[in-house]
Chain A
């Protein structure tokens, strides 16, 4: 019999466990917090008492047969998926499981270049070869968009042997591709569609949202429950369509998944799923209205451009996530990263990211109108106090890649570290990216161009946090010999 969405099987089992006052001679060694009073004082006894190990009444994430299985079935049901897996190593692990479930060494996989690093990481691990589709670029904002259907068709025609296509739904900025059409043409060509929905959990619950992966028949989707769904950081879910073999996917997940999954994370997904299933519609109606109020108010100011659904063009901006506050900052002479830093350092407001020309504020289940007012007022102040002349500012976020070899080949090749300026024209053997947003400027196997070097230096000057390279300061880059 199908369980009701009002149930939360993992929560119920943990509550039962707590009530039973079990004497534990198993791990973890803190024994419900008693062995680490300082940590218990900090996190609270309630929390420590359910930081427990897998055991019969609590099931086991690697081989779920009881309460975790039930919770995963409820998740699948809530998201309209055939199967669902709880993930405890972030949506990165879900993205990697998707890639590794459909690609083996040497297989081709089509993806937009503005994917999160986790997708390309998966290629390094499994040895699949990327076929990049250049996303559209909005000239005014400088941001990469979704993939046009035409560009996907071309990639499929050129690489009919590719195994799968990865689609961002949405991109970090909130842009969605025409997912329904992409699924259709990919399936006609016998390719699987893997959807990175790290920022799309709410698409499954709110009204007037972009289409979700499962609703248009995609094969797999990675949804970040913790990003907009309200579960604990690092908890996530992998959704499967009916075309996938759940047993095989579980084996793939278990290649790299911990055997000591945290019940704090698992219960948080369980509880968040119940809340979304029961109240999601109402929650995201509120979230959307908060975001759209924020967007309107910011645009009243002038100078700052909060972009949203007016950009929809039926192609590489097929839809736009209405819960995001994405703001273009270049016209007031400030890089996004500068606004991001000022908001935190001067106004005590932490936003999701700032890049070269934009900032992104995420509005979610936990937000209140008073906080949105603060963000708006702080942006008013930033415009009043910090506006500069925008002349000479870098105007694009996206750099077209020149792929010389597969990420795996490049990453494991013989390599050498060279100062930035000496790397022009060489093939990069590692990632270079600003984090956040974590979209590679250079990925292993790509030609280091003048454009890329210029971008890296500019990002450093503006205060971006550059990551990925072996050299922590990104003064040097590993190149292939």
Chain B
């Protein structure tokens, strides 16, 4: 018997991966959680019929969502991570000895538990003593905080379902308030290619621009995400992501990465023309 996981990336586009077996499947209070093992991508985490990560290509996403802000401001000490129940983002952050505290706010405790059990290579650093896992709605958590964090990373699902609140004006505004004067917000920024994703991307950018004086977007190539072309938002009160980059300071840290490097850091903010146009329309 052949077994394939097929994701309907749009109404007209499907993406399939051959599976060896389904390792886990359950419905939490918020979403359907599934894990497949596959010959090409290793173990795959799927939430509500959307691939969240695969153990083969997760390094791209998690390196890019963390090292870009960390290399821009190496003195970041206090970090808030929203979503990211799989632990991948936290895993990258814990590689910085200089970070003192990481609050991770995930709404769905089942995602954390499942990833701890089935995806140990991703979730392995959730037990780091600097990491504090809060099971809560990110929107609710952040509205109570003021002037506290150096960095907020929004590692969310798509803006449909439990992640919806993390793409709203009120959320970005509350994040602005929760950041100190050096604060940087990096978010999963959807994709520019297919219409539904690009709409979410444009709206997110438009909302961020209302709050942050510096709003840039950077890209990465992620094979298992729709269109393979994925974006991140870099919104900041003070630091410019390329002008303020101190390459030698980051390289001296000797962090061994597979995707990120400081040359790429400078390049990833150079966007295709059609993407730049879409963003400019909304500024």
Contacts and interface: CB of A to CB of B under 8 A. Distances in A.
Contact of B162 (A370, A381, A385): A370
A376 interface: yes
Contacts of A384: 173, 177
Interface string B145-175: 0000000000000000010110011110110
Interface string A371-384: 00110111011001
A348 interface: yes
Given A374-B139, A376-B143, A381 B165 contact: no
B164 A348 contact: no
B140 interface: yes
A347 B170 contact: yes
B137 interface: yes
A377 B140 contact: yes
Given A347-B168, A348-B169, A378-B169, A373 B140 contact: yes
A346 interface: yes
A380 B165 contact: no
Contact of A381 (B137, B140, B164, B174): B174
Interface in A332-388: 346-348, 369-370, 373-374, 376-378, 380-381, 384-385
A370 B170 CA distance: 13
A217 B68 CA distance: 69
Interface in B170-197: 170-171, 173-174, 177
A380 B170 contact: yes
Contacts of A346: 169
A373 B171 CA distance: 10
A327 B72 CA distance: 43
Contact of B169 (A347, A370, A373): A347
A374 B173 CA distance: 12
A377 B177 CA distance: 12
A274 B168 CA distance: 36
Interface residues of B, number: 14
Contacts of A373: 137, 139-140, 165
Nearest to A382: B170
Contacts of B177: 384
Given A380-B174, A384-B173, A384-B177, A374 B165 contact: yes
Q: How large is the interface on A (under 10, 10 to 19, 20 to 34, 35 or more residues)?
A: 10 to 19
Contact of A370 (B137, B143, B173, B174): B137
Nearest to A375: B170
**Of B143, B162, B171, which is in contact with the most chain A CB atoms at under 10 Å from its CB?**
B143
Contacts of B165: 370, 373-374, 377
A341 to B, nearest CB: 14
B170 A377 contact: yes
B164 to A, nearest CB: 7
B211 to A, nearest CB: 9
A377 B174 contact: yes
Contacts of B143: 376-377, 380
Nearest to A349: B170
Contacts of A376: 140, 143
Contacts of B137: 369-370, 373
B262 to A, nearest CB: 36
Interface in B132-146: 137, 139-140, 143
Contacts of A369: 137
B91 to A, nearest CB: 27
Interface string B64-92: 00000000000000000000000000000
A384 B143 CA distance: 11
A385 B176 CA distance: 12
A385 B173 contact: yes
A347 B173 CA distance: 10
A384 B142 CA distance: 14
**Of B164, B170, B173, which is in contact with the most chain A CB atoms at under 10 Å from its CB?**
B170
A380 B168 CA distance: 13
Nearest to B140: A373
Contacts of B174: 377, 380-381
Interface of A: 346-348, 369-370, 373-374, 376-378, 380-381, 384-385
Which A-B residue pairs are the 4 nearest by beta carbons? A377-B170, A378-B170, A381-B173, A377-B143
Given A347-B168, A381-B170, 6 more contacts: A369-B137, A370-B162, A373-B140, A373-B165, A376-B143, A378-B170
30 contacts: A347-B170, A348-B168, A348-B169, A370-B139, A370-B162, A370-B164, A370-B165, A373-B139, A373-B140, A373-B165, A374-B139, A374-B165, A374-B168, A374-B170, A376-B140, A376-B143, A377-B139, A377-B140, A377-B143, A377-B165, A377-B171, A377-B174, A378-B168, A378-B170, A380-B143, A381-B169, A381-B173, A381-B174, A384-B173, A384-B177
